Structures are given as structure tokens and as C-alpha cells.
Amino acid sequence: MDFERADALNQAIRHLTLRHRARAAALLAPLDLHPGQEVLLLELARTGPMIQAKLSEALGCEPPSVTLMARKLEAAGHIRRKPAPSDRRASVVELTDSGTALAGRIKQLWSTLAEETVTGLPAETVAALPGILMTIADNLDTRRPHQHSQHPPA
């Protein structure tokens, strides 16, 4: 790919991620949440209680980042952490009633954000976007060796 096309693509992705994160932050601020915390709450709502190390893996975050988020969410009363029965050094993280209610509000905000994000795009494009974006994310996954395979166009 020549530089002009590469630059246009990289700039578009950068611009999209910055704007999406800023809009997410604006929607989350009235809930007293910061970007990233909502994903932790949604993961627990989806899976139920989880060992903190597994939660870190599921979120694709470093364990210290999850620990910090968990502390803040626990202080706000949205989650609780308790020692894992199988390993007292590990913590099980679970939603409180407050966290469950908050996750419901986050789901509504996430729907709003998604609708705003794809306004004006054809339904076929919207349907294809999750697969395309996940392929792009997989291509950039630093946790696996980079493969020089060609992905078929979507």
C-alpha cells in the first residue's frame, strides 16, 4: 500500500477511535463512569461473577488496570470482591444490585452510541462492520505473533 493510502487509512482509524472514546466518555460522565469501567460492568453482567485475573483476560487489559477499575467500582458500590474459594490469593468480582442496575443503563447508552456511530450507513454496511472491525483488531493483536495472511475483503 502506498503512503498516501496508508496515511489516509491510519488517520481515519485514529480519528474514529478518538471521537468514539470522547463520545462514550460524554455519555458515561452523568453515570460517574470513565471509559473502560463500563466494559468491566457489561462483562460481569454477561458472564456473572468472575475471578479478577480472568476478567482482566476477558477485557484485554493488564491486571493492574482492572485492579484500579475494580477498586473504584467497588468504592462506588457497583461491584464486590471476595476471596476465591479455590485460591484465597485470587479475588472473585461480582455485580451488586447497584451494578446490575447500572449495567442496564449502560446497555441503553451503548445502543445510543452505536446508533449515532452508524447513522447514514446502509444496513448491509452496518451488519458487516463488527466482522470487519474485529478483523482489524485481530490484525493488531500484540498478544499473538503477527501473521502476514491476507484476509478476504468483507
Residue 123 has pLDDT above 70, yes or no: yes
Burial of 56 (0-12, 13-18, 19+ CB in 10 A): buried
Scan for cell 462506588, then name that residue: 76
| Per-residue model confidence (pLDDT) at position 146 | 53
| Per-residue model confidence (pLDDT) at position 3 | 95
Q: How many CB atoms lie within 10 A of CB 46?
A: 10
Level-2 CATH architecture, domain 3-119: Orthogonal Bundle (1.10)
In contact, 35 and 25? CB cutoff 8 Å = yes
76-119 pLDDT tens trace: 999 999 988 888 788 899 999 999 999 999 999 999 999 999 99
The pTM score is 0.82
DSSP conformational letter for 151: P
Residue 34, SS3 per DSSP: coil
36-83 pLDDT tens trace: 999 999 999 999 999 999 999 999 889 999 999 999 999 999 999 998
